Amino acid sequence: MRRAVWMTLFLALVLSAPASAMAEEHTVSPHIPLSENSPSSAELVELPDIFDGTTVVYRGEVIGEAMVRGNWAWLHLNDDAYMERNIEEGAPLGGLNSGMPVWVPALEVAQIGVFGDYRHEGDIVEVRGVFNAACAEHGGDMDIHAVHLTVIRSGREVDDPVSKGKLWTAIVVILAAAGVYLLDRNLDRIREWLAR
Amino acid sequence: MILRPRRDDHAIVGKYLGKIIVGIGLLMVVPLVTSLLFAEWDTALDFVIGIGACFIFGFGLQVICRTEKDLKWSHGLVVASGSWIAATVLGAIPHWLSGHEGSYLDAMFDIMSGYTTTGLYLIQDLDHISYGLNMWRHVLTYVGGQGIVVIALTFLVKGTAGAYKLYVGEGKDERLLPNVIGTARAIWLVSLMWLAIGTAALAVTGLMLGQEPVRALLHGLWVFMGAWSTGGFAPQSYNTMWFHSAAYEIICTVIFIAGSFNFALHWAVWQGDRRELRRNIEILSFTATAFITVSVATFGLAHLGIYPDAVNLFRKAFYQVLSGHTTTGFSTIYSRAFVTQWGPVAMLATTVAMAIGASACSTGGGIKGIRIGVLTKAYIQDVRRMISPDSAVVQERYHHIRDIVLEDRIVRTAFTITLAYVTAYAVLTVLGVLFGYDFTAAAFEGVSAASNTGLSCGITAPDMPNLLKWAYIIAMWMGRLEFMSVLALFGHFYAIVRGKS
Amino acid sequence: MKVLTGHNRACRYVIAILLETAYVLILAGLALLVAHLALVVVR
């Protein structure tokens, strides 16, 4: 009986924790202010119906690579917290990535110098094109079909310097690991030696 | 009467736990070599520290826990569930050191999600992480698919009778071969064969889609690992939408459906028993439930009229729902698009598909096809009993590698585990709703976590409540190990505290 | 039991993989049919 009471109390406690945390209010879809015709990728994903078929101006960092398919090419433009600066360069954490695929003429891709990855902060590119919530041409993907692109800011190489502290930690940890390994290997011999 | 574990019991658990963690350390050599190849020195150090920590823990445990005794059932279960926890805590070191995780909890979330082949992630700025770290994410999901214990059995543990108990503890119970080490090797043979063919197919397709050779190969390898292990990790934040290609999607679908098959089924087919592919109860169950859920989602989407024509509708519905059904978690739509485009009908169809999940003894999660099949047969048997004369003996059979007569014992096991899954789904859903999320979204995300799927409708994000992160981590762990060994671990702790000595 | 050579075994594995692929393609075909049907019924 006593146990049952404790269990009930415990359950009540566990269940009340989220209730108190709710005061902070976590909603899946935060209110996003609408700008004229240059929505962010988050706005496009949140309100696909509103922007579907309209011409939008969209700006973001070119990520990864350009995949050329015949006369056209796929670009992926991220307009998230890391569009100006990488975490490796000291940018603060700003949530998950967010971006939009853009379908551009292959000739336009030649303007792009740097694609964003671990070693690079990609070019920031602006496109003007038609937003498709579910593109009929591309298997229902959400995308922007643009005719032109403009490089707003060139990308650059990003350095991820080796920190001294990390280097020393690594050396100490590896030496310790080697020590423990040797101890494990020779434990019986050591015991014999101690017994003598 | 519950007995308090003795010194010997702790020693056995510690010894095998140590061996498995050493295995995790050895595994980190793969991403270490990758980052050295690409001259990512800072990332390489992250892995050196990770390997060192695993070795200190693993060999340290083996120094402390010296014993020659063999494993008993309870030990096997405790080692299996305990090793997943230790592997998560230690495996999170490189993630945490990379600076891309908001907290150590976030790092552990990503690692548990990887091992359990879930695919939800909290790593921030995925599009700018190093090749080494990306390799680690995918290697751990690939290995997690086969099972951490399976890898240890293959390379590190000498074949003892007790080894089988470790293997069962990880939620796998098929003996492909009489010997458990042989079974583990057979699982690896199947997986590596598929790895070679699948990676080649994806890499060649990637090349034709306009990727550079190195990127095509790495993306091919990683997407294969994410697909085969029904993991759902992909190298870019766009997941498999990155490729914008029907061919790539079809190859992914083939790989993740194959990955969701029972290893015993693979092995039977590989031994030349091709009829198994038509007769196996899990194939029948999967085909039926997949067909139903895809149809419901398709009709729901057709009604909303989001997709312009039948081919596009098919591509989106088939890929997303089957990715959910095989508990993979690949998607070619945005996470939030489930809410903003797909709507409740298609979301619920996907949720049901995820809840049912893949086959038993596969890389997948969820309730599993065999249990759905067995329970369906049990209902059929009951109905047949009701309409038969009292004297008639009603017998029901099903085919899984061989013909099996349906017994109450089998139904009981299937039912308890199914009920455990349903309970976990319900608890996570209620928890999500308590935190203020919409019911459909909370159910979708909760089922996705507990069934190790990894499709997200946007709840999983670095700023989600910490309590929910913990709940998802625990759910992923319990769901992957099919509850029993986790409950055994809880029982072990209970016995330490309250057991009779 | 017949002892199989390595070559034979590799063939069998590849056939098994192709069979599993065929199964998925049949599923996909069914789904495409459903999609057509859905659009016809709804419109």
- Residue B159 has what pLDDT? 56
Greatest mean pLDDT among B43-47, B169-173, B360-364, C14-18 lies in B43-47
Nearest-CA distance from B175 to chain A in Å? 33
Chain C residues with beta carbon closer than 8 angstroms to that of B294: 31, 34
Q: Which residue of C has its CA nearest to B286?
A: C27
Q: Which of B101, B125, B342, B440 to mutate to test the interface with A (most CBs of A within 10 A)?
A: B125
Phi/psi of residue B272, nearest 5 degrees? 100, 0
pLDDT more than 70, % of chain B: 98
Chain B residues with beta carbon closer than 8 angstroms to that of A166: 42, 45-46, 49, 97
- Residue B100 has what pLDDT? 95
Q: What is the residue-averaged pLDDT of chain A? A: 86
B-proximal residues of A, 104-133, CB under 8 Å: 116-118, 133
pLDDT in tens, B376-402: 999 999 999 999 998 888 899 999 988
Whether there are 3 or more C-beta pairs closer than 8 Å between A and C is no
- Of A52, A134, A121, A129, residue with least CA distance to A88: A121
Chain C residues with beta carbon closer than 8 angstroms to that of B253: 24, 28
Tokens coding A134: 């579910």
Mean pLDDT confidence for B274-286: 91
Q: Which of A11, A141, A172 to mutate to test the interface with B (most CBs of B within 10 A)?
A: A141
Mean pLDDT confidence for B328-346: 95
CA dihedral in degrees (C16, C17, C23, C26; nearest 10)?
Answer: -130
CA angle centred on B247, ends B246 and B248, rounded to 5°: 90
Q: Which residue of B has its CA nearest to A21?
A: B435
- Residue B329 has what pLDDT? 93
Cα(B315)–Cα(B297) distance, integer angstroms: 12
Q: Which of A171-175, A187-191, B39-43, B214-218 shows the lowest per-residue confidence on average (mean pLDDT)?
A: A187-191
C-proximal residues of B, 41-70, CB under 8 Å: none
Tokens coding A30: 């935060």
The pLDDT of residue B223 is above 50: yes
C-proximal residues of B, 145-204, CB under 8 Å: 193-194, 197
- The residue written with tokens 């690409």 in the block is B38
**Which residues, including other chains, have CB under 8 Å from residue B376's CB and lie 6 or more apart?**
B285
Helix axes B263-270, B180-208, angle to 10 degrees: 90
The pLDDT of residue A164 is above 60: yes
pLDDT in tens, A92-148: 999 999 999 999 999 999 999 999 999 999 999 999 999 999 999 999 999 999 999
The pLDDT of residue B149 is above 60: yes
Q: Which residue of C has its CA nearest to B190?
A: C13
pLDDT in tens, B338-368: 999 999 999 999 999 999 999 988 888 999 9
Asked if residue A21 lies in contact with residue B465, where contact means CB atoms within 8 angstroms, the answer is yes
Query: How deeply is B407 buried, as exposed, middle or buried, from its count of CB atoms within 10 A (0-12, 13-18, 19+)?
Result: exposed
Check C19 against B305: CB less than 8 A apart.
no
**Which residues, including other chains, have CB under 8 Å from residue C35's CB and lie 6 or more apart?**
B298, B302, B310, B311, B313, B314, B317, B318
Nearest-CA distance from A45 to chain B in Å? 6
B-proximal residues of A, 2-61, CB under 8 Å: 15, 17-19, 21-22, 25-29, 45-48
Residue B76's pLDDT band (boundaries 50, 70, 90)? confident
- Of B255, B455, B278, residue with least CA distance to B357: B455
Check B244 against A138: CB less than 8 A apart.
yes
ipTM of the complex: 0.89
Terminal alpha carbon distance of chain B: 10
The widest CA-to-CA distance across chain A, in whole angstroms, is 87
Chain A residues with beta carbon closer than 8 angstroms to that of B103: none
Tokens coding B98: 């990379």
Check B435 against A45: CB less than 8 A apart.
no
**Interface membership of A75 toward B (CB under 8 Å):** no
Cα(B353)–Cα(B442) distance, integer angstroms: 16
pLDDT in tens, B422-434: 999 999 999 999 9
The pLDDT of residue C3 is above 70: no
Tokens coding B67: 């014993």
Mean pLDDT confidence for C19-41: 90
Mean pLDDT confidence for B286-305: 95
Nearest-CA distance from A28 to chain B in Å? 6
- Residue A57 has what pLDDT? 95
Greatest mean pLDDT among B147-156, B157-166, B232-241 lies in B232-241
Mean pLDDT confidence for B404-411: 91
Asked if residue B4 lies in contact with residue B496, where contact means CB atoms within 8 angstroms, the answer is yes
Q: What amino acid occupies position B262?
A: N
Nearest-CA distance from A5 to chain B in Å? 19
Residue A87 or residue B177, greater confidence: A87
- Distance of CA B189 to CAs B22, B54, B122, B154, B170, Å? 22, 26, 32, 11, 19
Mean pLDDT confidence for C26-33: 92
The pLDDT of residue B10 is above 60: yes
Residue B164 or residue B442, greater confidence: B442
Residue B174's pLDDT band (boundaries 50, 70, 90)? confident
- Residue B180 has what pLDDT? 81
Phi/psi of residue A36, nearest 5 degrees? -50, -80
Nearest-CA distance from C7 to chain B in Å? 14
Asked if residue B121 lies in contact with residue B113, where contact means CB atoms within 8 angstroms, the answer is yes
Separate counts of helices (H) and strands (E) for chain A = 4, 8
The pLDDT of residue A33 is above 70: no
- Residue B176 has what pLDDT? 78
Q: Which residue of C has its CA nearest to B295?
A: C34
**Which DSSP state fits A63?**
B
